[in-house]
Structures are given as C-alpha cells and as structure tokens.
C-alpha cells in the first residue's frame, strides 16, 4: 500500500491480519527493513495507545521515530487555498507537508474533527492536505472520520478470539457525557463489511451513522434484540451524525451490562468510561478482551508500516 488513510486502502483484509499475527509472533523479524528510515508522528490531539503502539511498531521495524505535538511545539497551520495569512496561522500546509516530507520517510497523523462543521469534517481537510502536499506516505492515526489502525486491531482481535467460522458481531452505542467523533465506529463498520461476520448495529433512533458507510448493514433500534446470540459486542459512543455533533441521548439504559452481554466477548477501543459506557463487572471479568485488543494496536501499526516500507 502507498498510504493508509482508510479501510479502503487495504487490498486484502485477511492477508493483512495474517501479516499482523506473524509480526506478533516475530516482532523483530523485519528489523532491517526500517533501517535508516524515520517515522514522523504528528499530533494535533491527545493520544496514548496510538502514540505508544505506533512508536513501538516503528521501533520493532528498526525505524527511528520523531514525535511532534503540532499545536504546542510548532506553528499554527493554514489549510485554505489562496488565503491572505495575516491572522493566527503562521505556516501553510503546502510548505509544512513538503518540508516535513524531506525529514521523514512516513508521516503518521492524528487530527480530530470539529464536530461543528459536518461538511468540513467530512472533507478531511487536514489529512487530505497532507496527502496532497506531502511527498511521502501518510498513515492515519485517527482523522475526522476514520480510525483505520484501530479497526485493523479490532479485526485482528476478532480473528484471534473467534471460535466459529462466522461469528455474530454487534456494534452497540452507549451513552457518554461528551460529544465524540464517528471515526472509530465508521472504520469498524467498514472493516466488518470486509470480514466474514454476521454484523448488526444497534443504537437509539436518531443515532444513525453516515448511511454511505453503513450501507446494507442491518440496524436494530432494540438493543436486547440485536445482542441476542452475539459472539462479539463492540460498545462505543458517538455523537449524532444527523444533528451533527449533538448529544441527543444519555440514556443509561444503553450502558452495557453483564446481563445484556450474555456469552459474548466485550470490545472497546479505549479509553472507556467505566459505569457510563460499560459496568465494572464486564471490564473486570473474563469476557472483556479490551486489553488484548489494545495490544493488537502494535501489530496493526507494524503490519501497515511494514507494507508501506516495502513499497517505498
């Protein structure tokens, strides 16, 4: 692959999962591949798992890493074409992307959405601008609408834990005190459509995700009904897509409980708010696989970086 911006950049999902699992067994097998190569990690937003796991993945491949918090360490960037830059922005993305491309071999980027301007968020201005003006591959470490490294880790985790050929996977909305982006559910939904699973989404009415992404995936507004006989339950909050960025419900009935979970494995991308998204009993019990899921962030990132390095 050239860039890794979204799930669509994956040629074969099963092959990439297999690659990741191989790397998990032999983390240093391709240490020579990244020699004299540098990963530039640019953060516009907070990060824990992504920051550490992607850095680890790069180091496992023998790469150097340089980390920058763009908001604090550097200059405020301008993304509009033709703007007269006499305000707060000090550097245009055209220069920034082209310049950084000369110091690193791959750029990994995190840039959250505004959740106030749907059109702008969907335009993915930051990551698309980097893609356009950089001369090196771009890896999406969570953009306005996609978190494909997370979704790849999710797919690896399901593959590891599935005990039947075609497991039932449920994406179940949960309440949250703050308005959250759609990046994680979007990429998860896209990924599930590339896997051999029985997939259903459940959420309160009004919480429909972008229909261009959910397409033919069944949506069931009855959570208990949707959860029946699930093998994997992926719980996640997102803000409204139709009333863009709004919190339309904080109904605690949608919190995941042991009773609702049944025999299924519990998944979440983390960070997770305990006793708001999910009750303690699940996270502290044997059905939660969130820690293993987070572990797979490293192997997801490493498989992607390896793939990109091989095509440099």
Q: Which of residues 118 and 273 has its CB atom nearest to a second copy in the complex?
A: 273
Q: How far is the CB of 108 from a second copy (least distance, A)?
A: 14
149 is in an annotated binding site: yes
Q: Which of residues 59 and 210 has its CB atom nearest to a second copy in the complex?
A: 59
Single out the residue of 262, 232, 263, 257 nearest to residue 161, CA to CA: 232
142 is in an annotated binding site: yes
Interface with a second copy, residue 312, by CB under 8 A: no
Candidates 60-68, 121-129, 222-230, 258-266 — which segment interacts with a second copy by CB under 8 A? 60-68
Interface with a second copy, residue 99, by CB under 8 A: yes
Q: 34-64 burial string, b = 16+ CB within 10 Å, else e?
A: beebbbbbbbbeebebbbebbbbbbbbbbbe
Please tell me the distance from the alpha carbon of residue 112 to that of residue 182, in angstroms, as a whole number. Answer: 10
Judge whether 198 and 231 are in contact, CB under 8 Å. Answer: no
Q: Which residue has the tokens 């696989």?
A: 289
Q: Give how many residues touch a second copy by CB under 8 A.
A: 60
Judge whether 288 and 295 are in contact, CB under 8 Å. Answer: no
11, 25, 82, 205: which one binds a second copy (CB under 8 A): 82
Single out the residue of 289, 214, 223, 207 nearest to residue 257, CA to CA: 223
148 is in an annotated binding site: yes
Phi-psi region of 30 (alpha: psi -120 to 50; beta: other; left: phi over 0): alpha
Interface with a second copy, residue 114, by CB under 8 A: no
Interface with a second copy, residue 94, by CB under 8 A: yes
Q: How far is the CB of 215 from a second copy (least distance, A)?
A: 31
Q: Which of residues 49 and 265 has its CB atom nearest to a second copy in the complex?
A: 49
Full DSSP string of 195-208: SSSEEEEE--TT--
> Collapsing DSSP states into helix, strand and coil, what is residue 173?
strand
Interface with a second copy, residue 275, by CB under 8 A: yes
Contact residues: a second copy, CB under 8 A: 27-28, 36, 38, 40, 43, 46-49, 51-53, 55-56, 59, 64, 66, 68-69, 72-75, 78, 82-87, 89-92, 94-96, 98-100, 102-104, 177, 270-276, 280, 283-284, 290-291, 294-295, 298
């Amino acid at each position: 692959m050239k860039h890794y911006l979204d799930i669509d950049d994956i040629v074969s999902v099963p092959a990439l999962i297999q690659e990741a699992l191989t790397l998990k067994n032999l983390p240093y097998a391709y240490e020579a591949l990244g020699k004299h190569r540098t990963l530039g990690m640019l953060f516009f937003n907070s990060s824990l798992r992504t920051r550490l796991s992607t850095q680890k993945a790069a180091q496992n491949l023998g790469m150097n890493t340089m980390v920058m918090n763009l908001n604090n360490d550097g200059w405020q960037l301008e993304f509009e074409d033709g703007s007269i830059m006499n305000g707060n922005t000090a550097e245009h993305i055209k220069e920034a992307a082209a310049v950084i491309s000369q110091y690193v071999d791959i750029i990994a980027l995190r840039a959250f959405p505004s959740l106030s301007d749907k059109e702008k968020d969907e335009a993915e201005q930051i990551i698309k601008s980097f893609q356009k003006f950089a001369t090196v591959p771009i890896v999406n470490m969570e953009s306005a609408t996609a978190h494909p490294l997370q979704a790849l880790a999710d797919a690896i985790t399901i593959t590891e834990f599935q005990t039947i050929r075609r497991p039932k996977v449920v994406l179940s909305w949960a309440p949250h005190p703050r308005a959250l982006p759609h990046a994680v559910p979007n990429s998860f939904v896209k990924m599930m459509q590339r896997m051999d699973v029985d997939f259903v989404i459940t959420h309160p009415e009004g919480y429909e995700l972008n229909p261009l992404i959910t397409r033919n995936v069944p949506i069931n507004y009855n959570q208990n009904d949707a959860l029946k006989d699930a093998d994997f339950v992926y719980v996640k909050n997102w803000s409204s897509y139709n009333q863009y960025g709004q919190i339309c419900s904080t109904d605690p009935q949608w919190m995941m409980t042991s009773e609702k979970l049944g025999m299924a494995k519990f998944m979440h991308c983390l960070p997770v708010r305990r006793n708001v998204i999910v009750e303690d009993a699940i996270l502290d019990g044997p059905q939660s696989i969130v820690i293993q899921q987070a572990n797979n962030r490293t192997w997801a990132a490493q498989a992607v970086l390896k793939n990109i390095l091989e095509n440099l």
